[in-house]
């Protein structure tokens, strides 16, 4: 069943996804001509300044944009598949808020003053021996995200969230609850630390460093590979848990796995880039229109389309206001909320 | 009243329901049901609403939930179904349920190809043999030209045929169907049941299903079982089960049963079939009759 139509979609999706990051390298505050860009890409930068801009600023930024977009899109797709709800999204369902809560708690606790007043300095030092520093925030965010997905999972199988709209409302409630907790902790904490945490609420790619990229790459690739491998089994879950079980698929285990993957991807993204909303809702929806609903196609499509989408949104964030950057989360939320309303109208 | 067939434990016997009792929310849904259904045959479970047909089918396909307390066991070819792993069971038993296909639209081809799942490892891709198997199954149920259609856009009868094709792809020895001809028009009722009877007789597939229409059951089933309030009232060949006195007691309507030579009875190979007629207007004779239990056709 490889209809010609489907193949032609991939034929233009792939080049677009490859060209987007390359073209996006051209945009930014500093000038970098296409010519010097090509030289840098070939490992032969004209000047040290060019090299600095290319290797330390532009390239990590664009790669981060691509990975974050791709990751959010597959996290959303996984969540939508296993909740059988086209409106599911890590942002709307509180996974982002949960990860933000975890990250905030750790950021506040790890402030030397706070740690001293709580008498947990020793504990933190011990933890520091175990865990490389670059991992602390993502791990904390992961635990927060796990809390959120367990709540969503509990709701998804409970009686009072049978319809997709009810489940969505329940997810939004979880998101608000965890968000409120985060705000409360920030309110209690040091003003300086609170400032540091503010960017989680906005979502931005400015703080991503090369160290973070590796972790991001690892988690996004591992999650999408697993989803791809298990794709046909996730497809069976679209028919409902009972039907999936008659086809040999342990629906409960699969759902938990997808939730954990969603939490992991969301956590690494939130830990470094904050809450970037609606990408996980919009991209899978568009991808299904393009390549169909089977999990393997959706995962591959989400990687390509989600990555390209966020790369361009980031370009927009960098060039719209000169000498300034708009936090990327503001732009995705603005686009996403309109998209969401259009989707609701379509369904109604 | 006919006695239920109680487990003669022959080696390699087909489907054996061995003294199954099921309790849900302190209500006894099935009570000591013993039943033996032959391999390669079409068996029909009959009984009024709430008699336990669906519950028995769910026990047979091991679809009962963890919080449901039950006693006894169901064996398929001497293996206890509840003790098999989910994957192993899926290779041997296919279940045809109503599909409430959700938000994401799958094509008929994609749903039929899901029958390959129990036989595929994680890394497996669809092989040429798999593709051929799917094509053959679609061909067999007469839907080869509709395979790219959205499943939800097919008629009820076509959907049912599609799910039977999936069971064929699944290579299941036992196929369990819950009211496969509900909501279908007369044409498709006969169409689906004739298809199942053919598959049972040509491929040795064992078919177990619940049915409401006694005359369809008499025409297409080799074996019947009559349930009433969670108990097995009778089982065996249609002429043993379809007895006026028994049916009157179970369905609470006066009825008469005749032998007749039916031209539609392709599955029965032209042999005589039973014909059941209920007479709701004469029901004053029976106390407490349920007005909705009208089975007259």
What residue ranges do the domains of chain B occupy?
Answer: 15-235
Give the mean model confidence (pLDDT) for residues B275-294: 63
Contact A246 B122 (CB under 8 A): no
What was the pLDDT predicted at A265?
96
pTM of the model: 0.85
**Range in B60-64, B72-76, B217-221, B284-288 the model is least confident about:** B284-288
CATH code for residues B15-235:
3.40.50.300
Confidence of residue B194 (pLDDT cuts 50, 70, 90): very high
What was the pLDDT predicted at B256?
86
- pLDDT cut 70: percent of chain B above it: 85
Across A249-288, the runs of DSSP E, i.e. the strands, are none
List, for chain A, all residue ranges whose pLDDT scores fall below the cut of 70.
1-7, 159-162, 164, 190-201, 347-348
Confidence of residue B131 (pLDDT cuts 50, 70, 90): very high
Contact A235 B110 (CB under 8 A): yes
| C-alpha distance from B110 to closest chain A C-alpha (Å) | 8
What was the pLDDT predicted at B271?
57
Q: Is the dihedral of CA B199, B203, B209, B212 positive or negative?
A: positive
What was the pLDDT predicted at A108?
80
Cβ-based neighbour number of residue B285 at 10 Å: 10
ipTM of this complex prediction, to 2 decimal places: 0.81
By Cβ distance, the residue of A3, A164, A229 closest to B123 is: A229
Q: A150-196 pLDDT, tens per residue?
A: 988 887 777 665 676 778 888 899 999 999 998 888 877 766 666 66
Q: A303-346 pLDDT, tens per residue?
A: 999 999 999 999 998 888 877 888 888 899 999 989 988 887 87
Q: Is B235 on the interface with A (CB under 8 A)?
A: no
Contact (CB, 8 A) for B105 and A84: no
Angle between helices A4-24 and A295-319 (to 10 degrees): 30
Q: What angle do CA A314, A83, A328 make, to 5 degrees?
A: 10
Higher pLDDT, A223 or B52: A223
Contact B99 A240 (CB under 8 A): yes
Confidence of residue B100 (pLDDT cuts 50, 70, 90): low
- Find all residues with CB under 8 Å of A312, minimum gap 6, and list them: A20, A24
Give the mean model confidence (pLDDT) for residues B266-294: 62
Nearest CA in chain A to B105: A293
CA B239 to chain centre: 19
What was the pLDDT predicted at A233?
93
CATH entry, A4-347, from 3.40.50.10790, 3.40.190.10, 1.10.3470.10, 1.10.240.10: 1.10.3470.10
Q: B218-256 pLDDT, tens per residue?
A: 999 999 999 999 999 999 998 888 888 888 888 888 888
CA-to-CA distance for A63 and A119, rounded, in angstroms? 40
Contact B63 A229 (CB under 8 A): no
What was the pLDDT predicted at B124?
78
Contact A248 B114 (CB under 8 A): no
Contact A235 B97 (CB under 8 A): no
What was the pLDDT predicted at B9?
39
What was the pLDDT predicted at A159?
65
What was the pLDDT predicted at B262?
55
The average confidence (pLDDT) of chain B is 83
By Cβ distance, the residue of A230, A239, A246 closest to B61 is: A246
Nearest CA in chain A to B147: A1
Q: Is B246 on the interface with A (CB under 8 A)?
A: no
Q: Is B89 on the interface with A (CB under 8 A)?
A: yes
């Amino acid at each position: 069943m490889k209809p010609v139509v489907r193949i032609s979609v991939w034929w233009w999706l792939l080049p677009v996804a490859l060209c987007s990051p390359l073209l996006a390298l051209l945009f930014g505050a500093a000038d970098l001509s296409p010519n010097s860009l090509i030289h840098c890409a070939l490992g032969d930068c004209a000047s040290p300044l060019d090299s600095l801009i290319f290797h330390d600023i532009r390239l990590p930024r664009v790669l981060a944009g691509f990975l974050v977009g791709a990751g959010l899109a597959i996290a959303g797709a996984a969540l939508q598949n296993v909740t059988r709800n086209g409106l599911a999204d890590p942002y709307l369902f509180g996974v982002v808020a949960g990860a933000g809560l975890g990250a905030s708690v750790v950021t506040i606790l790890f402030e030397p003053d706070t740690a001293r007043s709580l008498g947990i300095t020793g504990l933190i030092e011990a933890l520091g021996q175990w865990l490389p520093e670059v991992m602390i925030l993502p791990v904390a965010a992961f635990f927060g995200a796990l809390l959120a997905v367990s709540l969503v999972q509990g709701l998804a199988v409970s009686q009072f969230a049978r319809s997709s709209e009810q489940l969505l409302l329940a997810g939004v409630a979880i998101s608000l609850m965890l968000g409120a907790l985060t705000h409360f902790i920030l309110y209690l904490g040091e003003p300086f630390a609170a400032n540091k945490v503010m960017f989680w609420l906005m979502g931005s790619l400015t703080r991503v460093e090369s160290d973070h990229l590796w972790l991001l790459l690892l988690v996004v690739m591992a999650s999408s590979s697993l989803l791809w491998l298990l794709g046909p089994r996730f497809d069976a879950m679209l028919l409902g848990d009972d039907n999936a079980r008659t086809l040999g698929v342990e629906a409960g285990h699969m759902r938990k796995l997808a939730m954990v993957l969603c939490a992991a991807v969301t956590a690494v993204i939130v830990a470094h880039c904050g809450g970037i909303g609606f990408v996980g809702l919009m991209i899978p929806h568009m991808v299904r229109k393009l390549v169909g609903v089977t999990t393997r196609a959706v995962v591959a499509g989400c990687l390509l389309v989600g990555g390209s989408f966020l790369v361009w949104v980031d370009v927009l964030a960098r060039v719209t206001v000169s000498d300034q950057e708009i936090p990327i989360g503001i732009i995705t939320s603005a686009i996403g909320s309109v998209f969401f309303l259009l989707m609701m109208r379509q369904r109604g | 009243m006919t006695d239920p067939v109680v487990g003669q434990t022959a080696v390699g016997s087909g489907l054996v329901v061995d003294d199954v009792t099921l309790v849900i929310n302190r209500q006894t849904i099935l009570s000591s049901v013993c039943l033996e259904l032959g391999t390669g045959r079409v068996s029909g479970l009959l009984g009024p609403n709430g008699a336990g047909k669906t519950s028995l089918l769910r026990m047979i396909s091991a679809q009962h939930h963890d919080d449901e307390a039950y006693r006894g066991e169901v064996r398929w070819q001497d293996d206890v179904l509840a003790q098999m792993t989910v994957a192993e069971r899926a290779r041997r038993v296919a279940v045809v349920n109503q599909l409430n296909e959700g938000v994401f639209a799958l094509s008929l081809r994609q749903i039929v190809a899901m029958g390959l799942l129990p036989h595929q490892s994680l890394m497996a891709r669809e092989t040429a043999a798999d593709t051929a198997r799917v094509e053959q199954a679609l061909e067999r149920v007469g839907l080869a030209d509709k395979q790219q259609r959205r499943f939800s856009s097919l008629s009820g009868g076509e959907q049912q045929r599609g799910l039977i094709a999936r069971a064929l792809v699944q290579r299941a020895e036992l196929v369990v169907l819950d009211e496969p001809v509900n909501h279908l028009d007369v044409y498709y009722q006969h169409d689906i049941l004739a298809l199942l009877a053919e598959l049972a007789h040509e491929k040795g597939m064992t078919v177990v299903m619940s049915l409401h229409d006694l005359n369809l059951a008499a025409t297409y089933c080799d074996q019947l079982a009559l349930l009433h309030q969670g108990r097995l009232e009778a089982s065996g060949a249609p002429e043993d089960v379809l007895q006026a006195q028994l049916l009157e007691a179970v369905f609470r309507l006066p009825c008469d049963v005749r032998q007749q030579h039916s031209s539609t009875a392709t599955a029965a190979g032209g042999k005589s079939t039973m014909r059941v007629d209920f007479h709701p207007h004469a029901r004053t004779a029976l106390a407490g009759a349920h007005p909705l239990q009208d089975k007259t056709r």
